[in-house]
Structure formats: C-alpha cells, structure tokens
Structure 1
Amino acid sequence: MSLPWFYPDRVSVAPGDELAIHASAPPGLYHLKISRVGSTNELKSTVEDIVIDQGEIPANVESCGCSWPVVLRFTIPADWKTGYYDLYLAGADGEGTHHFFNLKPGPGKPRARAAIVLATNTYQAYNYWGGANSYAHVEKLMRGEVDAAGSEQEAKGRLSRMRPYAQGLLMPRLGQPRLVNPAPRELGMAAHPATPEWMAEHQPSPYDFSACFVGKWEHAFVCWAEENGVELDYFTDQDLEAGAGILDPYRAVFLVGHSEYWSASARDAIDSLHEAGGNLIVFSGNTAYWKIRWEEDGQVMAVHKWRGESDDPLWGTPEEGRDGTHMWSHPAFGRPEAEMTGLSFLYGGYHRLGLCVGRGSAAYTIYDDKHWALEGTDLYYGDCIGGDIPLVGYENDGCPIRVDRRGLPVPDGGFGVPDDLSIIALAPATLFEDPAAPYPPIVPPGDIAILARIAHGEDNPVNRERLQHGHAVMASFRRGNGEVFNAGTTEWAHGLAAGDPYVDRITRNVLTRFGVPIGAAD
C-alpha cells in the first residue's frame, strides 16, 4: 500500500461545515488538493504538511470500513459554489489518489431553480476498493482466481462508505471509452464494448465504466449546463435521507446517467417534490432499479439485491414494505419505480452492449412527433436521432407497449407504468444476450427467473422470452402537481456533449416547460 489512501467522513457538506479526512500511507508528509470539477477544473485550496502514518486494512473492509484515524479537519469556506469537488492526496513525489465530496447549498438557501441529485448510491454499489462490490469480487476476477460466476457469489450485501475508492472507477484513465459497442458488430464477429486496443493496454475492471462523476454522464451534463447558463444546486442520494421536503423549493430535479440505487427516503423526497408542484427530469437509464437502505448512521449501505428475500434481516418483518432490500419492482414493496419515473429497466434493457441489440442503430425512432418536447426540432414520424453518438446504448428503461388505432405506441400495462404515459420515441432493447448464441457472453443476465416473476407475474418460457423483447422509451406524464420527462437512456448526456441539435433542442424544451432558466450564467 505504497500510495496514500484516504476517505472523507461525509459524502455531502454545506458551506461552513467541517470535513474530516481519514488516511493511511507510508509515514511522511502529504498535501491535499481540493478542486471543483465542472466545465473547467478550478483548484480551490491546497493543504500542505499533512502527517500520515501507515494503517491496517481490516478484514471484510468492504462492509466494515477502514477505521483509519483523522489526519485533517477542513472547514468549507462560505463562498464556495455548490458542486462536485475532487480531493487529491499526494506525497512529495506527486503520486497520490482521489476521492470526492459534494457541496450542497446551505440550509434554507437554494440558489438555483433546479437541482441535480448525484447518483452516489450507485457510486457506492460499484466501488470495489478492498476487493468486492455489490456485484462481484472484482479483484479476484481480475486476477483470474475465479470466473465471472464465481466472483458474483462473493458480492457484498453491505458496503461501507468509510473507505477509499477504486481509482479506475472514480478517476478514469485518459481516453477511457464509453461502455457501449462503438459500432454495430460485423458479420460473424463477437461484439465488444469500448475499444479493444485501449482495453488491452489498460486492463480496466469491467466495473470501472458504470458509475462515478468524472468523465462520465453527470460530468457531461454539468458541462453542458454550465456552458449554457443553467444554474444547478447539487445534492447527493444520501442528502435525501434528511427529510421528504428537501427538494420542494426547486422547480425541477435532474437525475442523470446511472441513478440505479434508491432508498425509501429518496423516493419520499421525489413524491414530496411532485406534491409541491415540482418536476422530475430523468436523463438516466436503469433508474431506481434496486432498493437499498442506509444503516449505522449513514455509514453502511445495505444492498442485498437478488438475495434480499433470503439474506436481508428485515425481510419478512413489519418493516419489509419500507426498508427491505431487493428490486423496487418486487411486489412485496408495492412501490415500483415506474410510479416515479414512468418506465422501468424491467421492460427495457441493454442496447449496443455485447449481443444485446449488438447491431442496433443506437438511435431513437420518433413516433409522437406532435409531443411538446419536440417543438421546433423539425422531427417527424419515423425520423431517427442520435445514431452517430450513440444516443441509445448501455442501459435503457421502457414499458410494455401496444399499437393504438392511430398506429402509435401506447403503454400496455407494466408494473407501476402510468396509464397516461405519453410515448415519444422508441428503440429495441433486451435484458440479456441470447443464451443460444455461439459467442462468449458479455452482459451478466441476472436472475432470469426472478425477473420473469416480477415483470410478468410468473416464471415460464413465454415470460422469459418477453424479457428479451424490450424497448428504450422516451416519454412524459403528469404526476401529482408536477410532471416527469424521462429520456429513457443512460446516454442522453453524451448527446448533449456531442452537440447533437435534436438532443439539445429537446433538452431546452423540457427545461423551459419545467421552469428552469437557460442562459443566466454568472
């Protein structure tokens, strides 16, 4: 452990709060650089001559945390702007590691009309520092000690945030590609995500692409927002544990990229937002798929996932409907994510990832060309957008569909899908690769029996086949006293980063309708 490793005591702080830094390193003096990361990186402070000693890595550190001593306490200046802040701890040779914190607005002081909620629960679920995350024992998989199935058996159901981050996940290597097949696969060739040459050179973990801020979806959206004068206040998933009304002052709230893991308190905050007349803008895919809870004063995330029914100690207690962990669409909770977002990954899936629609166009096909979100786009029925980005890729949310008498797609049931959902555009998606294909699988299929039972009421061959025939859906609907727009894909922010005129205009239409000013930069 020759590098300095560290973690802050909190995910999110306000101006005037004190942040404590816990660290372990070869004995010596170190410095900490604090930078705000947005459309530019702004160095805000450097703390010199931090004394650090070597600490131990406890057994089961992924679940128990490091318990390292505090080496620095830092008070956040009152004039620092809300946003994502990178922490870089390094020695005299400049070699170091990164962590982060979020700076939220001070109590009762919203500065902007809109807020973004950073998907820090998802960051936590993917963090494999110490060896394992909520998916697998990643380090054993990378060392070749176990195969993919064996690594998944060692996934953790409890994850401590009191530890460092795997650096490939938190701070991408230069040139890291997106997690999507860059082009449709050729005849007879196995599909491959990303760039084979880059992958061979850097040997990243398969989990490095799926979460965190820098160089990924939220960062791309923030850059677009700052360059276009869209002011945002920043919160994290964990901030939503504080109370249901925390988002009520905002006209709109953004979820961007891969906001996959949600607690009951976070769902309550969005319900309260809608009752207060606020709006939800979902530029995310696989949104609110897994139900989690925070334990030990917010230090440990319980995320038993597929094993919730067997491993979660709250399963079967009177609290199960609120605090048990599994898929949000599990009927035990009576609160499917589609009630909040309009869509679900259960009815969508992957596009241009492995063999999951591996030759897909990566474009949305427009159906409801009269929808308000398309005003001024010059788009008409059957037009396709975003294929060159790719706009539809990685993970996508959808709903069961049927064709009405007008020849247009409309929702056809689905657990929690609202009847008044307006479908704007579609693209094919699937939850897993064809098991009969002759190519090595890339996409973990999950527990297909559970998926079929939850999505369609029973595990049988017909319902398993239905899981393979999903759709990415762009849609909107009214909820409470507010409204929801859902882009239905993880990749929407990359459309903005690419300067796609259709994605840009649709985004502006959504912001204008939902009361978010554009072009009011400081």
Structure 2
Amino acid sequence: MAPEHIRRWESGALAHAVTDPFGQGPVPWLRGSETYFDDTGQVVPWYVDPQPAPGTAPGTPSARTAKATATAPRVPAPRPSGGGPRSADDVRRQIKGFASTGAVTPGEAIDFHITVDPPQQFGVDVYRIGHYGGDGAAKITTSPRLSGIVQPPPLTADRTVSCHHWWLSWRLQIPSYWSVGAYVAVLTTDDGYRSHIPFTVRDDDPADLLLLLPDITWQAYNLYPEDGRTGASLYHAWDEQGRLLGEADAATTVSFDRPYAGAGLPLHVGHAYDFIRWAERYGYDLAYADARDLHAGRVDPTRYRGLVFPGHDEYWSASMRRTVELARENGTSLVFLSANTMYWQVELGPSPSGVPDRLLTCRKRKGPGRPLLWREIDRPEQQLVGIQYAGRVPEPHPLIVRNAGHWLWEATGAAEGEEIAGLVAGEADRYFPRTPLPDHEDRILLAHSPYTDGEGVLRHQETSLYRAPSGALVFASGTFAWSPALDRPGHTDPRIQRATANLLDRICKRD
C-alpha cells in the first residue's frame, strides 16, 4: 500500500489499541468535527460537540440538534478557520509541532516548533485540562496570527527520528499567575487543519498530591511520523514496502524533539486527563510534574502527602525509581491507577545540541548490555508497587471485589464478590507469590478478578494496598480501566469514584 494511502489502523495507533482500549479517547473539551479511529478501525468523533443534521442550515437547528446544543460544552472553541476543522496527518503534515520542554514553571517560556504545509498563517489556542463548571478544560490564551513555514523533513539515524533542527515558530511566556496543570496547545491553520501539543506547567509549592504525567511512556509509544516509511517507536517501524514491523525491528532510542503521531496527542493521554477532571471537580489540592521531572531530580517528595501516577506508566529510569522508593520510606504515599507500571528500565540522554533528557533509550532484546526488564535485574516491580504486570486482557472483564469490609470500599455499596463490569481491561497486574514483597506493616488484596488471555488461558487480576513501615500507603489498581472509571463518558462508575476518594481522603488526611 502506498504511504499516501496508509490507514491508521494499519499503522501504530491501533496496533496498540488491544493493549489500551482506553488510551487516547475523545477530547471532549474542544469543538469541531474531527475524527479518530477506535480499536476496531471504525471512525468515531474526535470532538464530541454535536453536528447539524445533513441539510440543516446554520441558525435553523432541528429539534434534535437544538436539544444537543443545549447540553453542549461551553468551552470556547479554538479560533475559527475557513475550511472547518480537520485533523492533520503525518503524511501531508498540514500542521504538526512539538514543545521544547515537557514542563515549564510560571515566569518561564516554552518554545513551539511547528511545520505548516502548504505555508500559511495559523493560530494557537491554549487550554488547561480541569473541571470548569462541568467542562473538561478552559481556554487560557490565544496566540497572535503566526506565519507558518514548511520545516525540513525529520532526521533519521538508526530508526531514531528527530526534528531538533526545526526553527522556532512561537515562544509562549508563561505568566506568573497561571495555574499549574496539564495544558494542550491547539494548532489551527487558516484552511482548517488542526493538531495538538501537550505540555505541563509546574512549580515547587507544597500540595497534598503530586500528579505525575507519564511523558516518558507517552514518547515510548510515539510512532511519529505515521507515514508508512520513516516513523518509529520502541514498538514499531516500517520496512521499505510500507509494512509495519514489530518490536525486534523498532527503535532503541526515540526523541522528544518531534510531534506526537496523528492528531498530536499521546496514545495514553486519556488516563491522565480522566483523573485530572475528576480530582479537580472534587477539589483535591494538586501539584503537577512530568516523569522527566522525577527523573531529573526536580521533584521533592517531602512536599506532598502522596504521589499519583494516573495512567499507563511503563517506562522508568533508575533515578525515578530511587526517588519514589525514598518518598515511600519517608512517609509519602503512592497511588498507581493503572497496570504494567515500571516494567522497562530506560535511560535518558541529551539531544544533539546538548539539551538534557531529550533522547529516550530502551534496548529491550537487542544489542549488548544487560536486560532492561526490572524483574530481570532482580528488582521486580512488586517490591515497590505491591503487585506487578501479568499480561494483556483481550476483552474487558468484570473486577471482582474482595475484602469488601475494608475502608477502601466503604460507602461504595460494593459487596463481597460483586462484579464491576468492564473494569479489568487493557492490561492487568496481580500478586506473584514467588516474588518478594516490599516491607510492610499490613497488606491486603481488594480485588481478585478472573479473565481469559489471548491464548484462552484463565488468569486473574488483583488490586493491592499496603502500608509501608513509614506509614505511607501504596495502592495499585492493577488495571487500565480504573482512571477512565473516574470521568470517561460511558465508563464512569460511582463505586470506583468513591473508593478512589476514600483512598485520597485518607492520604490527604481529610475528615
């Protein structure tokens, strides 16, 4: 198949969907008519704002449209454009970009490197993810009109793709009064093509909870450019005939100096945004940082009662693990709301121009050097998380409540053995009896859920909680579906919402 006609489900985006059915998800806070492909290759709305029925003139909505409009998000739309919003792609690169850094503090600047083809003006609308009167985000600022240029093609070396040589397109000075949080820059060309760039605003002020956005894992899965030729992630690449190759032929080093594939949002970003919307709705005191902040030593865990890992957080460096272990030993609680956490060990290195932590390396099974699975270097994940990765879950299964009398399940209405439908999905963790446990004062398993793997073998998932000798609580959901159950349309579950609140309230010492 010619690269110009490549379909996303034959590229990387849906190669991962079996692993993470809750990955990217719709973006419910933005308006428009863009689409993305779900895990079956079907086109579904990227934005959820309702569209007029065919043949309905603007200003004369049908009764159905009028009713939908009454419940539509109130978030201001990105700057309108002449052609109506359409998602940019990696073949024609109508508009694509990346940020010079992952996290920035108020008073600093963040640089955006953007390519526009054909060259034309474009605008950038910046949103903050959160809970704004029921909306999932708020528009914070809008750029002036900017002149777009066609940037040079990405550079490739041994499967590593980098755009570090792109010219600066726009510098955003972060005002001192901006709130910390997860932000998205929405790029829109005059002819209506749109893409996204996520970034984080952080500071060092104390807070009850520090939310850590898993940008290292996001980049590990990034296949930019999804063009059937040059893109590569730690999982996939293409051969000369445009056929998608597997892990054995993938990149061993990937660069942060490139856009995210497709619409410009990481494959797993939805997990974090689900948690953020829910936590801000209920008023939790949140600070924000990226995994690279944790790696680089910019996180002081003593400033927080708990560290929250809201989504798929599979790739950890040695310094990340060391910092989190010290946090637990000093009384800071840990909350892991996904599965397959801390599976691969990685290293971060500087870009060709010397900017730290812009290259991510994970050798996996190729080349010289020691194995890169934590459990293969006698440091299994279970020694920190309490459980560890057991395998993929091809079809969603119910989570089976265990120890329903425990305070985590208090006021949830969940009974012993109750099934919470669809909550074991994507990937699952469990307790490994032959693997050492962390030091603990007490420990309990709060779910034990049978499921059938891809080979038809019966396996099980578990949810874990233990108290370290320091008093720190360490919770691990053991499933990808926990964060989506907090605030994902069509997936919310009040039992999971209340259980999570019980956990965080105890960590934050709320009455």
TM range (shorter): 0.7 to 0.9
Contact 2:200 2:290 (8 Å CA) reproduced: yes
Contact 1:126 1:133 (8 Å CA) reproduced: yes
**Residue from 242, 248, 267 that aligns with 2:296:** 242
In structure 2, C-alpha distance between the alignment counterparts of 1:53 and 1:499, rounded to whole Å: 43
Residue 286 of structure 1 deviates from its aligned partner by 0.8
Aligned to 1:448: none
**Residue from 108, 114, 128 that aligns with 1:23:** 114
How far does the alpha carbon of each residue in 1:231-253 deviate from its partner, in whole angstroms, 9 at most, with x for none?
Answer: 31111101112328522211111
In structure 2, C-alpha distance between the alignment counterparts of 1:505 and 1:100, rounded to whole Å: 29
Aligned to 1:344: 388
In structure 2, C-alpha distance between the alignment counterparts of 1:86 and 1:517, rounded to whole Å: 31
Aligned to 2:218: 123
Contact 1:117 1:253 (8 Å CA) reproduced: yes
In structure 2, C-alpha distance between the alignment counterparts of 1:303 and 1:342, rounded to whole Å: 24
**Residue from 459, 479, 483 that aligns with 1:489:** 479
Aligned to 1:301: 360
Aligned to 1:233: 287
Q: Which has the higher contact order (CA 8 A, sep 6+)?
A: 1
What amino acid sits opposite 2:209 in the alignment?
Answer: A
Q: Which stretches in structure 2 are left out of the alignment for 5+ residues?
A: 1-91, 226-230, 351-355
Q: Secondary structure at the match of 2:94?
A: coil
In structure 1, C-alpha distance between the alignment counterparts of 2:509 and 2:123, rounded to whole Å: 40
How far does the alpha carbon of each residue in 1:314-365 deviate from its partner, in whole angstroms, 9 at most, with x for none?
Answer: x25xxxxxxxx6111112xx322111111110xx2223x1xxxx4x6x2222
Question: Is it true that 1:136 corresponds to 2:236 in the alignment?
Answer: yes
Alignment of 1:281-300 (within 5 A): 281-296=335-350, 297-300=356-359
Contact 2:161 2:232 (8 Å CA) reproduced: no
Cα RMSD after superposing both structures? 2.5
Contact 1:230 1:516 (8 Å CA) reproduced: no
What amino acid sits opposite 1:60 in the alignment?
Answer: T
**Residue from 31, 43, 51 that aligns with 2:147:** 51
In structure 1, C-alpha distance between the alignment counterparts of 2:220 and 2:502, rounded to whole Å: 33
What amino acid sits opposite 1:163 in the alignment?
Answer: R
Contact 1:256 1:490 (8 Å CA) reproduced: no
Q: Percent identity?
A: 27
In structure 2, C-alpha distance between the alignment counterparts of 1:293 and 1:36, rounded to whole Å: 30
Contact 2:302 2:327 (8 Å CA) reproduced: yes
Q: Secondary structure at the match of 2:303?
A: coil
TM-score normalized by the length of structure 2? 0.72
Aligned to 1:474: 463
Question: Is it true that 1:37 corresponds to 2:129 in the alignment?
Answer: yes
In structure 2, C-alpha distance between the alignment counterparts of 1:238 and 1:88, rounded to whole Å: 23
From the two aligned structures, give the one with the greater helix fraction: 1
Q: Secondary structure at the match of 1:304?
A: coil
Question: Is it true that 1:156 corresponds to 2:251 in the alignment?
Answer: yes
In structure 1, C-alpha distance between the alignment counterparts of 2:320 and 2:194, rounded to whole Å: 34
In structure 1, C-alpha distance between the alignment counterparts of 2:282 and 2:338, rounded to whole Å: 20
Aligned to 1:271: 325
Q: Which moved more, 1:239-248 or 1:28-37?
A: 239-248
In structure 2, C-alpha distance between the alignment counterparts of 1:163 and 1:517, rounded to whole Å: 42
In structure 1, C-alpha distance between the alignment counterparts of 2:264 and 2:147, rounded to whole Å: 27
In structure 1, C-alpha distance between the alignment counterparts of 2:155 and 2:179, rounded to whole Å: 38
Alignment of 1:55-94 (within 5 A): 55-60=151-156, 63-66=160-163, 67-94=165-192
What amino acid sits opposite 1:327 in the alignment?
Answer: L
Residue 415 of structure 1 deviates from its aligned partner by 4.9
Residue 48 of structure 1 deviates from its aligned partner by 1.8
Aligned to 2:446: 424
Contact 2:127 2:140 (8 Å CA) reproduced: yes
How far does the alpha carbon of each residue in 1:101-152 deviate from its partner, in whole angstroms, 9 at most, with x for none?
Answer: 11112x3x23x31111111111101110021111111x66xx98336xx443
Q: Secondary structure at the match of 2:384?
A: helix
Going from structure 1 to structure 2, the CA distance change for 1:496 and 1:96 (only over 3 Å counts) comes to closer
Q: Secondary structure at the match of 2:257?
A: coil
Going from structure 1 to structure 2, the CA distance change for 1:69 and 1:480 (only over 3 Å counts) comes to farther
Q: Secondary structure at the match of 2:374?
A: coil
Residue 429 of structure 1 deviates from its aligned partner by 4.4
Residue 379 of structure 1 deviates from its aligned partner by 3.5
Aligned to 1:374: 409
How far does the alpha carbon of each residue in 1:442-461 deviate from its partner, in whole angstroms, 9 at most, with x for none?
Answer: xxxxxxxxxxxxxxxxxxxx
In structure 1, C-alpha distance between the alignment counterparts of 2:213 and 2:362, rounded to whole Å: 18
Residue 161 of structure 1 deviates from its aligned partner by 0.4
Aligned to 2:353: none
Aligned to 1:204: none
Residue 91 of structure 1 deviates from its aligned partner by 2.2
Going from structure 1 to structure 2, the CA distance change for 1:38 and 1:224 (only over 3 Å counts) comes to same
In structure 1, C-alpha distance between the alignment counterparts of 2:139 and 2:503, rounded to whole Å: 33
Residue 7 of structure 1 deviates from its aligned partner by 1.1
Question: Is it true that 1:326 corresponds to 2:326 in the alignment?
Answer: no
Contact 1:396 1:488 (8 Å CA) reproduced: yes
Q: Secondary structure at the match of 1:153?
A: helix
Contact 2:160 2:251 (8 Å CA) reproduced: yes
How far does the alpha carbon of each residue in 1:252-306 deviate from its partner, in whole angstroms, 9 at most, with x for none?
Answer: 1111221111111111221121122110111111111111111111110011223
**Residue from 414, 421, 439 that aligns with 2:435:** 414
**Residue from 402, 419, 428 that aligns with 1:396:** 428
Q: Secondary structure at the match of 1:226?
A: helix
Residue 92 of structure 1 deviates from its aligned partner by 1.8
What amino acid sits opposite 1:22 in the alignment?
Answer: H
In structure 2, C-alpha distance between the alignment counterparts of 1:377 and 1:239, rounded to whole Å: 35
What amino acid sits opposite 1:433 in the alignment?
Answer: G
TM-score normalized by the length of structure 1? 0.71
